[in-house]
Structure 1
Amino acid sequence: MPTPFDIWSPIFRAPFSGDVTQEITPRFLSPDIKGSPAIEEKVVREVASYGKQLGKVLEALQALSAATDTPLPEIDALVEQVEAAKADAKAALRAEAAAALARLKAVDEDAWREVRGG
């Protein structure tokens, strides 16, 4: 049974009421991108993601910090947070895979054995 909110929900969006993912790949002819969107897209698709590029910059900053004995606590904290987020994502993916394998075993043990490699 519809509620009065159903009429307004397509018009008004509360925080986190819709997709909360954000694509950060360059969009062709976007006013958000300075320079050449075609080059940006090529670099991201063929060379390295923004995360990979930023990771290299952070590594370089940490190497310079160590070489010059100049502490960069904000950079170190950022690197730790990134590594923690990566570890969390890997753990979640691992748990998701284990749950999927358990479901497969419950419904099709032969397929489960095949996927497990034996």
Structure 2
Amino acid sequence: MFGPFSVWSPQFRFPLSGDVQQDIDPVLAGSIRGVPAIEARVQREVASYGTQLGKVLEALQALSQSTNTALPDIDALVDGVEAVKVECKQALRDHAEEALRKLQQADPEGFEALVAGVKS
């Protein structure tokens, strides 16, 4: 965004100096193996990649338990995923609590209506 003093403080971006992010998007042709239309539809209608991998990890852990074969890397992976889920859930709760506090201050009637709607 440009402000009144942008002329004196320009922002330069050099190659490979921007934000780093990776899109996992099956619609991008050529970026994945398989048929992108099928991949997109499976992800949209059946299950996300995380859900699919979660089922595979659950099966591996069940197989590990039934055969008494230790799979420490799989167990560590599952534990790591669960830890991230717990952290994210807590962050979401904190964010919701802060938003509700702000709503209660700004619009007490709206807050009461929202809380009553959630309870019913």
TM over 0.5: yes
Q: Once the 2 structures are TM-superposed, how far is the Cα of residue 41 of structure 1 from its aligned partner?
A: 0.6
For 1:1-118, list aligned pairs within 5 A. 1=5, 2-3=8-9, 6=11, 8-9=12-13, 11-14=14-17, 17-18=18-19, 20-28=20-28, 30-117=29-116
Q: TM-score scaled by structure 2?
A: 0.84
Question: Percent of pairs identical after alignment?
Answer: 50
Q: Once the 2 structures are TM-superposed, how far is the Cα of residue 3 of structure 1 from its aligned partner?
A: 2.6
Q: Once the 2 structures are TM-superposed, how far is the Cα of residue 56 of structure 1 from its aligned partner?
A: 0.2
Cα RMSD, aligned residues only:
1.7
Q: Tell me, yes or no, if the aligned pair for 1:25 and 1:44 is still in contact at 8 Å.
A: no
Separation in structure 2 between the aligned mates of residue 21 and residue 92 of structure 1, nearest angstrom? 21
Separation in structure 2 between the aligned mates of residue 99 and residue 55 of structure 1, nearest angstrom? 31
Separation in structure 2 between the aligned mates of residue 21 and residue 115 of structure 1, nearest angstrom? 36
Separation in structure 2 between the aligned mates of residue 27 and residue 113 of structure 1, nearest angstrom? 43
Structure 1 residue runs of 4+, over 4 Å off? none
Q: Once the 2 structures are TM-superposed, how far is the Cα of residue 22 of structure 1 from its aligned partner?
A: 3.2
Separation in structure 2 between the aligned mates of residue 35 and residue 59 of structure 1, nearest angstrom? 25
